[in-house]
Amino acid sequence: MIKPPPLSFSHMGIFVHDLAKMQVFYENVLGFPVTDRGKLGGAEIVFLSRDPREHHQIVLVSGRPAVLDFNIVNQISLRADKLSYLRDFYRLLEREGLEDLVAITHGVAWSVYFSDPEGNRIEIFTDSPWYIDQPHREPFDLMRTDAEIMAETEARYKDDPSFRPLVEWREEFAKQLI
């Protein structure tokens, strides 16, 4: 079998009902500045990014149908570099009054889940230093100290046979990609 050339994730686009409201949320709440905007056909488009290497990481496009029986986007996941940033986002989102805000540990990561103004599920996460076979989903108290969260997570998952340092799992997985 021929392996495809390397790829990395760059951006995603979502159709929206209320472009202005969604832009305010992604720009002011999640901190994605607008890099461009325009019209294409009958659609208005807003491009947003937090990475100077990426012209856009999120694209908001007008024209979402009024009625959809099912949202096919499971989640939009955004990486935070450390637990303190995840905690800062949690506090910010709490102040926004989001009712579905929840902190979850997966063992491999700590996450905060919530919905944007149009019901798209968003995850902000930071990696833990461990790997454990997935899925795992347990609530945790993000207001505890980093040391307490680390100790609690390790204690919760360390007896699982798949538990090991994340760096080991990454090295093994990288060999599969060669």
Would you kindly state where each structural domain of the chain is located, as residue ranges? 12-63, 74-178
3-class state of residue 24 by DSSP: helix
The DSSP secondary-structure symbol of 154 reads: H
Q: Which fold has domain 12-63?
A: 2,3-Dihydroxybiphenyl 1,2-Dioxygenase; domain 1 (3.10.180)
pLDDT the model gives residue 65: 87
pTM for the whole structure: 0.83
Q: What is the pLDDT of residues 117-174, one digit of tens each?
A: 999 999 999 999 999 999 999 999 999 999 999 999 999 999 999 999 999 999 998 8
Q: Which CATH class is domain 74-178?
A: alpha beta
Neighbours of 112 (CB within 10 A): 23
